[in-house]
Amino acid sequence: MRGRRTKCYLLAIVLSITVMLPAMGAAAGGLTTSATPCSTPPSNQAQSPIVIEPSFTLLPASKQISFYYPAFSPVVENTGREIEIFENVSEPPSLGKVTVNHVDYYLEQFHFHSNAEHHLKFSHQPAVEYPLEIHFVHKEAPDPSNPNKVRGTVVVAVFIEAGSASGELATIFDNLPTVPHTTYTLNDVINLNYLIPEGTFYQYKGSLTTPDYCEGVQWYVFEEPITLTAAHIQNLKAIYPNNDRAIQDRNNRVIYRGSH
Ligand SMILES: [Zn+2]
């Protein structure tokens, strides 16, 4: 697995604690809040998370995903429900995005669930449940000529298990904001390419896993976990031990298998 590197200079990093500005959270994310009404309201037929049963249905070319993740300066927020990370709005935007079927979906934020929300079920084996899951939330840009157009959502899910330290996340997990509704800005950049595993992923159509559970979300769930130290995982669980939604019915939805 790629993505292991040591960034010794991070040890000298200075963290500036700031009080969260409500507008900042809304501008940076908002997807996990109920501020924006669902473009595709819940039908209870296509909800997330689900048990991923590895599929032999190959991903069609129209669902292939490409990543464009320039390094950026992050803000770390305790939202009161989860630990969320987004770009420092005082910096030039990195315009990190994924592309699916020639459409760009821009990264709004990423956050962590404890325990993992999706489960992996290999045949004749108990379902695998990892301690944490990252959600990278992307949204299609607004169309100025068609403001009523439904903006698509792509969420990339990556599991975390205990193991070696993460060079990209170590400083953040050493300094998680324990007080709800506080943020700090990391005086360094992080490169999310190191957090996306190589290998197999699974794609299906589902929903957000927080209110209002909007459907129409394109999910990309990576099979191979990345690692954090057990101590870092515990740091997050000490703040949010159970912010995972229960498994939802799959309802015969197709799960595609792709490779990154
Ligand atoms: Zn999530």
Dist. CA 8 → ligand 1 center (Å): 30
92 versus 49: which is more confidently predicted? 49
Which of the residue ranges 90-99, 124-133, 228-237 has the most confident prediction, judged by mean pLDDT? 228-237
Kindly state the tokens that stand for 94.
């990195």
Residue 36's pLDDT band, with cuts at 50, 70 and 90, is: low
Dist. CA 216 → ligand 1 center (Å): 15
Residue 24's pLDDT band, with cuts at 50, 70 and 90, is: very low
Q: Are strands 103-113 and 83-87 parallel, antiparallel or unpaired?
A: antiparallel
Look at the block and give the residue holding tokens 């197709």: 254
Least confident of 47-61, 73-87, 229-243: 47-61
Query: For the whole model, what pTM was predicted?
Result: 0.85
Dist. CA 47 → ligand 1 center (Å): 13
Q: In whole angstroms, give the CA distance from residue 234 to residue 167.
A: 17
Dist. CA 233 → ligand 1 center (Å): 17
Dist. CA 166 → ligand 1 center (Å): 20
pLDDT tens-digit map of 150-199: 889 999 999 999 999 988 999 999 999 999 999 999 988 999 999 999 99
Dist. CA 86 → ligand 1 center (Å): 14
Q: Domains of the chain by range and CATH?
A: 46-70+98-164+199-259 (3.10.200.10)
Kindly state the tokens that stand for 40.
């595709």
Dist. CA 85 → ligand 1 center (Å): 12
Whether the Cβ atoms of residue 8 and residue 170 lie closer than 8 Å to each other? no
Dist. CA 147 → ligand 1 center (Å): 26
pLDDT value at position 144? 87
* Dihedral over Cα of 52, 58, 63, 64: its sign: positive
Alpha helices in the chain (DSSP H): 22-28, 170-174, 230-239
In angstroms, the first-to-last Cα distance of the chain is: 12
Is the pLDDT at 19 greater than 50? The verdict is no
Dist. CA 12 → ligand 1 center (Å): 31
Residue 102: C-alpha distances to residues 28, 65, 97, 99, 212 (Å): 24, 9, 12, 6, 28
Q: In whole angstroms, give the CA distance from residue 192 to residue 178.
A: 23
Average pLDDT, the chain: 86
Dist. CA 14 → ligand 1 center (Å): 28
